Structure formats: structure tokens, C-alpha cells
Amino acid sequence: MKEENMKVLIIGSGGREHTLAKTCDNSPLVEKVLVAPGNGGISKEFSTFVIDVENNDEIISLAKQEQVDFVIIGPEVPLCNGAVDALTKENILAYGPNQQAAHLEGSKAFSKDFLAKHNIPTAAYENFREIKPALEYLSTCTLPVVVKASGLAAGKGVLICTNLDSAENAVKEMLAGSSFGESGKEVVIEEFLEGEEASLHLICSGESYVTLPMSQDHKKVGEGDTGLNTGGMGAYAPTRLVTKEMLTAYEESIVRPTLTGLKKDGIDFRGTLYIGLMLTVNGPKVLEFNVRFGDPETQVILPLIDEDLIPFLIQSAKGENLPQTIEIKKESALVVVLASEGYPESYPKGEIITQPESFPTGSHLIHAGTRLNDNLDVISAGGRVLGAVGWGENLEQAKDRAYELCDLVSFKSKYYRKDIGHKEFLRY
């Protein structure tokens, strides 16, 4: 394939894909960025195409029709559906893991068994497909306990249960198929880990990898990390929670054993590996694997990369060895998610969004749950609507810029947390 004047197709419709599109657009190797299906904000900047991202034939058809040189798969569902395998069969270069490797995210039961098999630190657990043995195991667990739907659940299939009744109800509802459908037909019951979470993103090519800035997400909908779990209400990077020495230790105890274990198991992992870590008093433990860039972590990680990302993604897609490091700016970035009031439960849609013609220095607006109405106004179309991203010399400056942008954007039910990064500021 040519590696200049490239046409790049990004598959997906959220804030992660908008950030990837902006990053690709800044590459001297890229002539044109296409996004499918995109969203209201993305369509104002890039060519978008309405397709079903869960249909591999539609992805292939669009890639051929537009004669694209490189496809980047954003979300987990097409990866788990084998989109990369299908594109590869058609000799279309694609970034992301194949279907076998994507199983690391597609099945929590599989990933937990993988961690146990390769002696990688994680919470104690058991997997269940039937209600009776699951309830018997629950009766032996220390509370609180975590109940997870094994399959994909859009970041919402993890329940922290503080009493036995709620844990038993969660198990019954999942295994009966009433709460998460097919995704809950197998459950993982695991010990509750205490500590702080951190997100480790890697670009991988077999056992070769490059580490991206450590970030921290905010999953709870309410300030002070209260309320229901969401897909993420904000994030920042880098975090002082993890020192350079600690990261080196994590690579030895978690990253290398993971990539070596995948190779031993006959899995050729190419693409993004996102390792969700819980930093406990007994050391780091793996909470989960994701096989794509996190959302909203992508919005703060990619602006900190100080060289062209595209060559790294291409080398990964081709299975070539990656450089040992990537240049990172000595800056910080912070994103505040502007959500619709009521998220993650019921919330309004169709509200007109107003935003400034230009943004404050060191900030930009990322679109997630938006679309265009018949008048070509950008309107809300999801729970997480926008991401206000700020960056600067330090986290304080990044925060000020992100929140200044929050105030310049409006839609009727706009809701956002006002304390993103609060734990990090206590570390200063």
C-alpha cells in the first residue's frame, strides 16, 4: 500500500472516532479522512457515510467504493464481529485485533481465564452459566462483590453489589437474559478490589509494543465518584498516580506476560490493548482488557503524542516491530463529558446544540452522541453528547481550558461533572 497521500477510513460514531479523525487529519501522510457512520459534529468536518458497522460486508463495500488505503476500527463490536479479518481477506489493511484476539474484550470469562492461566494478577473469580451454582458461590463470597456480564454491554455490565440480595438478583437477571440479553448468559463473579483505577493503553504488534500516557477515567455519573456507573464522565492524562518506575514494573508483571501469553496461545495480537488496572495495597491487578482505544481516554491521550501516530498504527496492522518509545509532550490534557441529564438511565434527545465559532486557546470540542436534524442543526442523540477537551503546560491549565469551553456550549439538558481530575489535584 502507499504510505503517503493516504485515504483513511475510520469506523465508528463516538468521541473516540472524532479524536482519531482529527489525529489522522493532522498527519502529513493522510490526504483524506472518511468516517462511517460518524455523527453530527464529525460530518461538519469530514466525509461521512451511513453504514451498519456490525455488517462486515458494508464496511468492505465502502472501503472498496472509496478506494481507501487504511481502515481504523474504533468500537469493540465490529472488532468482535471479525471486521479486521474480513478486511484482511480483501487485502485491505486494517488497524485493530482480529476476531480471535478481540475475544479478550468480547468475553470477560475468557479474559479472566487467560489471566489465571498466565499468572497475571487479577481479582479472585469464578465464571457461571447456571443460576444455582452461581448462587452457591455467592454465599461464600465476602461483600461487596462484583457481578459482571461476560459479553459486551457498552461499559454498563459491571455491578458492584454491597449486599447478598442485590448480588443474587443481579445474577438471576443476567443469567435469565432479562438484564443484558445474550451478553449476560455467562457471568463472572469476582472479589471487589479497593484502590485507584488507571488506564494503560498500548499499541501492539505481537510481543512488540509502545506505551501511551497513563490516564484516569471517571466512571461514576456524580461528583465525588458517586451514583451509577457510566461509559465515562471525563478523563485526564498523564497521572501522577503512576510513576515511571511503577510503569516499568507494570510492564514486567502485566504487559509482557500478557503479550507472551497471547503468543503462546496462538493469538497474534495487533492493535490497541487497553488494560484497566486497579492499584491496590497488594500491587496492580487487571480489572479488564479492552481491545480498542478507550472512550473518553482517547480524547486526552492522543493530543499528548508529539509525533505522527499513523506510522505506528500501520506498523501494528502489518505485524511489524514497533519502535520502543513514542514522543510525548510535556503537557497535560483533560476532557469533561457533557451528558444529557438522566444519563445513564433515561434522557432526552433531539436538543439543539449551540457552540462558539472558535474555541479558547488549547481546547477543542469532540462530538459523541450528536446528529444533524433536517435543518442541518447539530442536535443531541445520546447520553454522552460532547467532550470538552483542554490541554496545557499542566493539569490546572488543561482543566481551566476544558471547563471554560463547557460554559460556551449549550443544550437544554446539559449535565457535567465539575470535579474531573479531583484525585489528581490532591496529589500535587
Domain count, the chain: 4
> Are residues 401 and 338 part of one domain?
yes
Indicate whether 168 belongs to any domain. Answer: yes
- Count of C-beta atoms within a 10 Å radius of residue 22: 19
Helix (H) or strand (E) holding 301, with range, is helix 297-301
Q: Which three cell numbers stand for residue 181?
A: 440479553
Residue with cell 481491545: 291
CATH number at residue 170: 3.30.1490.20
Give alpha helix (H) positions in 73-216.
Answer: 76-80, 83-89, 99-106, 108-117, 131-138, 164-175
Q: Which three cell numbers stand for residue 75?
A: 468500537
Indicate whether 298 belongs to any domain. Answer: yes
Indicate whether 379 belongs to any domain. Answer: yes
> Are residues 376 and 310 part of one domain?
no
> Are residues 288 and 340 part of one domain?
no
Helix (H) or strand (E) holding 229, with range, is strand 226-229
- The burial class, CB within 10 Å (0-12 / 13-18 / 19+), for 163 is exposed
pLDDT of residue 155: 64
Largest CA distance in the chain: 61
Indicate whether 123 belongs to any domain. Answer: no
Residue with cell 443476567: 174
CB burial of 221-256 (b: ≥16 within 10 Å; e: otherwise) equals beeeeeeebbbbbbbbbbbebbeeeebeebbebbbe
Q: What is the bridge-based pairing of β-strands 332-340 and 384-392?
A: antiparallel
Cα–Cα distance, 187 to 169 (Å, whole number): 13
Residue with cell 484525585: 423
Contact 274, 200 (CB under 8 A): yes
Indicate whether 214 belongs to any domain. Answer: yes
Indicate whether 160 belongs to any domain. Answer: yes
> Are residues 269 and 339 part of one domain?
no
Q: Which three cell numbers stand for residue 304?
A: 499528548
- Count of C-beta atoms within a 10 Å radius of residue 178: 10
pLDDT of residue 134: 92
Residue 188 per-residue DSSP state: E
Residues 6+ apart with CB under 8 A from 17: 10, 11, 35, 38, 42, 74, 75
Cα–Cα distance, 331 to 304 (Å, whole number): 7
Give the side-chain half-sphere CA count within 13 A for 300.
Answer: 41
Cα–Cα distance, 194 to 220 (Å, whole number): 15
Work out whether the CA dihedral 305, 307, 310, 313 comes out positive or negative: negative
> Are residues 338 and 306 part of one domain?
no
> Are residues 290 and 218 part of one domain?
yes
> Are residues 241 and 162 part of one domain?
no
> Are residues 414 and 302 part of one domain?
no
> Are residues 348 and 314 part of one domain?
no
pLDDT of residue 153: 74
Q: What are phi and psi of 18, to 5 degrees?
A: -65, -40
Residue with cell 503479550: 259
Q: Which three cell numbers stand for residue 246?
A: 511503577
Structural domain ending residue among the three candidates 185, 211, 228: 185
CATH number at residue 336: 3.90.600.10
pLDDT of residue 399: 98
Residue with cell 457461571: 128
> Are residues 205 and 157 part of one domain?
no
Indicate whether 325 belongs to any domain. Answer: no
**Per-residue pLDDT of the chain in tens (428 residues, 90 and over written 9):** 567 899 999 999 999 999 999 999 999 999 999 999 999 999 999 999 999 999 999 999 999 999 999 999 999 999 999 999 999 999 999 999 999 999 999 999 999 999 999 999 999 999 999 999 999 999 999 999 999 988 887 666 788 899 999 999 989 888 887 767 777 788 999 999 999 999 999 999 999 999 999 999 999 999 999 998 888 999 999 999 999 999 999 999 999 999 999 999 999 999 999 999 999 999 999 999 999 999 999 999 999 999 999 999 999 999 999 999 999 999 999 999 999 999 999 999 999 999 998 999 999 999 999 999 999 999 999 999 999 999 999 999 999 999 999 999 999 999 999 999 999 998 76
Cis ω on the peptide bond leading into residue 238 (within 30° of 0)? yes
> Are residues 302 and 203 part of one domain?
yes
CATH number at residue 249: 3.30.470.20
> Are residues 409 and 338 part of one domain?
yes
pLDDT of residue 156: 67
CA dist list (Å): 135 to 33, 130, 147, 162, 245: 50, 9, 11, 15, 42
Which residues does residue 95 pair with via DSSP β-bridges, in sequence order?
72
Question: What is the residue range of 366's domain?
Answer: 332-426
Indicate whether 202 belongs to any domain. Answer: yes
Structural domain ending residue among the three candidates 295, 318, 341: 318
Q: What share of the chain is helix, strand, coil (3-state, %, to 5)?
A: 30, 30, 40
Identify the CA nearest to 337 among candidates 388, 412, 395.
388
CATH number at residue 73: 3.40.50.20
Structural domain ending residue among the three candidates 158, 185, 212: 185
